[in-house]
């Protein structure tokens, strides 16, 4: 499983856990809504700065985006 | 401590542990040597794809780049 796929899976999981829509999360993190969708489909490779902003808005440690999904 | 600073500290530590120079690591990972220097000074924010390539060449799990340095 590629790193961006692990990230994508965790981003979607953590965003759902927060109750935020893609649009809400994008707005809070200063990102384009479509870009959040791309990240959740592993279609783009975010920078560390973007990862940090997403972690801040989701109130999680950045390392949580790298947890390996069960079964991998 | 910003995420890119944590990354920078760990990149330098793991590279030293591997015995590779910045130039050798850059060559193996298909990156510019100056870029590896920028990353180790937290002067640039790498993408996940770049982080994955560096982890592969250093033979570490990508999550090791996010270990918090002692004292932080």
Query: What's the pLDDT at A60?
Result: 97
Q: Which residue of A has its CA nearest to B4?
A: A48
Yes or no: is domain A3-59 CATH 1.10.260.40? yes
Of A3, A4, A2, A10, the closest CA to residue A69 belongs to A10
* Chain A residues inside the 8 Å CB shell of B50: 45
Chain B, 15-54: which have a CB under 8 Å from a chain A CB?
45-52
Query: What's the pLDDT at A1?
Result: 87
End-to-end CA distance of chain A: 7
- Using pLDDT thresholds of 50, 70 and 90, give the confidence band for residue A36: very high
Question: Which CATH number, 3.40.50.970, 1.10.3430.10, 1.10.260.40, 3.40.50.1860, labels domain B3-58?
Answer: 1.10.260.40
Query: What's the pLDDT at A38?
Result: 98
Q: Are the beta carbons of A49 and B4 separated by less than 8 Å?
A: yes
A65 interfaces chain B, CB cutoff of 8 Å: no
Q: Are the beta carbons of A48 and B45 separated by less than 8 Å?
A: yes
Dihedral over alpha carbons A53, A59, A65, A70 (to 10 degrees): -160
Query: What's the pLDDT at B1?
Result: 87
Q: Which residue of B has its CA nearest to A65?
A: B63
Residues 6+ apart with CB under 8 A from B23: B33, B36
Q: What is the pLDDT along chain B (72 residues), one digit of tens a residue?
A: 899 999 999 999 999 999 999 999 999 999 999 999 999 999 999 999 999 999 999 999 999 999 998 765
């Amino acid at each position: 499983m590629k790193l961006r796929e692990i990230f994508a899976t965790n981003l979607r999981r953590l965003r759902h856990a927060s109750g935020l829509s893609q649009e809400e999360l994008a707005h809070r993190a200063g990102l384009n809504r479509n870009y959040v969708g791309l990240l959740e489909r592993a279609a783009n490779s975010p920078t560390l700065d973007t990862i940090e902003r997403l972690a801040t808005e989701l109130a999680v440690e950045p390392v949580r985006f790298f947890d390996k999904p069960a079964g991998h």
